[in-house]
């Protein structure tokens, strides 16, 4: 496979001005300012809304359990599935499905996942939110080559494995809604768009002791926008559809926005629910689209989205919201009490940042009254706040649309990503404060170590900033401070914008923990 270096990559991107004009990204969405990206319109009539039932990804059974942990096997392969009614779509899926199977683990119980690559390109697997040794974290150049590949042809490749490899996760961390996805350098956007994403849920004793909804009333919901061709194929503006040469067409460099909203791979589904509390594990798995999710109609008295958790697990106490804003890669665990509605009523999960078809996500149909032993206690967990006085380093990181080798691109502190460029060095066991500044929307994701939000602008944390997080939604021309303790493991990790087109175009930095 032919590789392209960074200079060549930005050369193909920089030949013309972006659609937003003179290299300035588009801000698309309601009032033109909710997502940094460009809409890619489908070429097929959009499917009807709320006509297909919600599908819940199957839970993967381990192939064995032993003293080393729970062992799973996944095959990454192409498959044809029906996403648009009546049409077949080729996806790339874990075990050939989208989303991939859900893995369920216990905190402190090691999980080993063997991945076999039957796709035509290299892959990398990242457990997003995992507290993981660097060798298992899915560094962007640690490639798993296709089965039967004899040469990798990637001059910047790191640890190369052919055909199969095991990812070993100690999971010494709190209960949380994690997810796994492809993380190959320069190609994360198109690979996730094609379907390489799945849930990985971690449980622990603290969470199990709470009277929260569980079983069929605990719903993982992967929300993702996509676009489709007239034959049902997934549209994506790659310069090279074989994903050998990186890059997207200039107009989509700010980010790719689809016009079909999928929830667990189903366009605008409905779910029949009894009139009891349900836990919704909300994941924004879109490349670039942001959402503001709300219930329509809201329950009497409002506050229908009761937030109990965020990226890295439970909050200390629940928070009531009328709406929740989600940037790509963020997770919010909320409890909705459908007992506040009457039997037969329909409740729509809407996107207040969307317009047209993107303004609706899914619909719940309240079927009947039922016994409900669940509740949301006033105290969920104990979260010890990190103290600003503990910080040994204060650093500023600027996420910017920039010029790279004379071409348009995305950088951190003016530096594009390269495996040999270190943006931040941290000592194991120390605390740092990072001041993040942005020009456009940049959801900033830090590998290895969750963080707490200290400030936004001149104020304290925002409405959705409570608890431990691994991804922060930074809005245009905004600054924020986060505080991080680097513990657990040493090694090389990355932090990056989780607008996947920005990440693929070099908005990623190396974090070296020593």
User: pLDDT tens per residue, the chain (514 residues)?
Assistant: 333 344 333 333 333 233 333 344 555 433 335 899 999 999 999 999 999 999 999 999 999 999 999 999 999 999 999 999 999 999 999 999 999 999 999 999 999 999 999 999 999 999 999 999 999 999 999 999 999 887 655 656 678 899 999 999 999 999 999 999 999 999 999 999 999 999 999 999 999 999 999 999 999 999 999 999 999 999 999 999 999 999 999 899 999 999 999 999 999 999 999 999 999 999 999 999 999 999 999 999 999 999 999 999 999 999 999 999 999 999 999 999 999 999 999 999 999 999 999 999 999 999 999 999 999 999 999 999 999 999 999 999 999 998 766 667 899 999 999 999 999 999 999 999 999 999 999 999 999 999 999 999 889 999 999 999 999 999 999 999 999 999 999 999 999 999 999 999 999 999 999 9
CB 167 within 8 A of CB 184: no
The structure's pTM equals 0.93
The answer for residues whose C-beta is within 8 angstroms of residue 447's C-beta and 6 or more apart is 126, 137, 470, 493, 494, 495, 511
For 193-225, give one letter per residue: b (16+ CB within 10 A) or e: bbbbbbbbbbbbeebeebebbeeebbbbbbbbb
In this prediction, residue 62 carries a pLDDT of 98
* Cα–Cα distances in angstroms (integers) from residue 203 to residues 104, 169, 347, in the given order: 8, 14, 29
In this prediction, residue 6 carries a pLDDT of 42
Domains and CATH numbers, the chain: 64-208 (2.60.40.420), 215-366 (2.60.40.420), 388-513 (2.60.40.420)
Q: How crowded is residue 457: how many other Cβ atoms within 10 Å of its Cβ? A: 11
- Spatial separation of the C-alpha atoms in residues 352 and 348, rounded to whole Å: 12
CB 437 within 8 A of CB 398: yes
Closest CA to 304 of 291, 325, 323: 323
The answer for residues whose C-beta is within 8 angstroms of residue 482's C-beta and 6 or more apart is 433, 434, 436, 446, 451, 452, 453, 454, 469, 472
- Spatial separation of the C-alpha atoms in residues 372 and 484, rounded to whole Å: 39
- Spatial separation of the C-alpha atoms in residues 234 and 98, rounded to whole Å: 13
In this prediction, residue 156 carries a pLDDT of 63
Does the CA dihedral 476-480-485-491 come out positive or negative?
positive
Q: In what helix (H) or strand (E) does residue 193 lie, and over which residues does it extend?
A: helix 188-193
In this prediction, residue 494 carries a pLDDT of 98
In this prediction, residue 500 carries a pLDDT of 97
E-only strand ranges, 357-477: 360-366, 391-404, 407-412, 422-426, 431-438, 442-446, 451-456, 471-474
* Cα–Cα distances in angstroms (integers) from residue 414 to residues 11, 17, 141, 207, 358, in the given order: 17, 20, 22, 42, 34
In this prediction, residue 34 carries a pLDDT of 87
- Spatial separation of the C-alpha atoms in residues 329 and 473, rounded to whole Å: 10
The answer for residues whose C-beta is within 8 angstroms of residue 223's C-beta and 6 or more apart is 261, 262, 263, 282, 283, 284, 285, 286, 291, 326, 361
E-only strand ranges, 119-173: 125-128, 144-145, 161-162, 164-169
Closest CA to 14 of 403, 288, 399: 403
């Amino acid at each position: 496979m032919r590789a392209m270096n960074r200079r060549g990559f930005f050369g193909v991107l920089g030949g013309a001005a972006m659609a937003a004009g003179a290299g300035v990204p588009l801000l698309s969405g309601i009032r033109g300012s909710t997502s940094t990206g460009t809409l890619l319109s489908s070429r097929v009539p959009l499917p009807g809304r709320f006509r297909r039932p919600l599908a819940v990804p199957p839970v993967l059974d381990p192939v064995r359990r032993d003293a080393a942990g729970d062992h799973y096997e996944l095959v990454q392969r192409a498959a044809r599935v029906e996403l648009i009614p009546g049409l077949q779509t080729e996806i790339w899926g874990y075990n050939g499905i989208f989303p991939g199977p859900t893995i369920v683990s216990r905190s402190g119980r090691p999980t080993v996942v063997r991945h076999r690559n039957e796709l035509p390109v290299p892959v990398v697997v990242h457990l997003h939110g995992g507290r993981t040794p660097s060798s298992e974290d899915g560094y962007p150049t640690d490639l798993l080559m296709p089965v039967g590949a004899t040469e990798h042809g990637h001059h910047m490749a790191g640890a190369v494995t052919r055909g199969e490899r095991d990812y070993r996760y100690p999971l010494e961390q709190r209960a949380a809604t994690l997810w796994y996805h492809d993380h190959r350098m320069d190609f994360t956007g198109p690979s996730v768009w094609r379907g390489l994403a799945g849930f990985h849920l971690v449980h622990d004793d603290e969470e199990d002791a709470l009277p929260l909804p569980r079983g069929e009333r605990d719903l993982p919901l992967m929300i993702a926008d996509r676009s489709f061709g007239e034959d049902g194929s997934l549209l994506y503006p790659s310069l090279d559809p074989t994903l050998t040469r990186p890059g997207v067409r200039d107009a989509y460099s700010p980010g790719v926005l689809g016009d079909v909203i999928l929830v667990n791979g189903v366009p605008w589904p409905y779910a029949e629910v009894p009139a009891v509390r349900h836990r919704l594990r909300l994941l924004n798995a879109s490349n670039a689209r942001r959402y503001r999710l709300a219930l329509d109609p809201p329950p009497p008295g409002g506050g229908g989205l009761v937030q109990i958790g965020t990226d890295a697990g439970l909050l200390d106490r629940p928070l009531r919201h009328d709406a929740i804003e989600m940037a790509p890669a963020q997770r919010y665990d909320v409890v909705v009490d459908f007992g506040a509605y009457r039997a037969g009523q329909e409740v729509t999960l809407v996107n207040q940042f969307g317009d047209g078809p993107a303004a609706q996500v899914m619909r719940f149909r309240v079927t009947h009254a039922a016994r409900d032993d669940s509740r949301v206690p006033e105290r969920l967990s104990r979260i010890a706040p990190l103290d600003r006085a503990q910080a040994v380093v204060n650093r500023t990181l600027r996420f910017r649309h920039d010029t790279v080798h004379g071409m348009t691109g995305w950088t951190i502190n003016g530096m594009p990503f390269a495996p040999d460029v270190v943006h931040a060095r941290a000592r194991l066991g120390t605390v740092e404060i990072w001041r993040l500044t942005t020009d456009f929307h940049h959801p900033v994701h830090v590998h290895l170590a969750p963080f707490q939000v200290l400030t936004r602008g001149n104020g304290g944390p925002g409405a959705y900033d409570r608890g431990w997080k691994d991804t922060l939604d930074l809005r245009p021309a905004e600054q924020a401070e986060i505080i991080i303790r680097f513990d657990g493991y040493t090694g090389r990790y990355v932090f990056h914008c989780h607008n996947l087109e920005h990440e693929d175009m070099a908005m990623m930095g190396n974090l070296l923990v020593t």
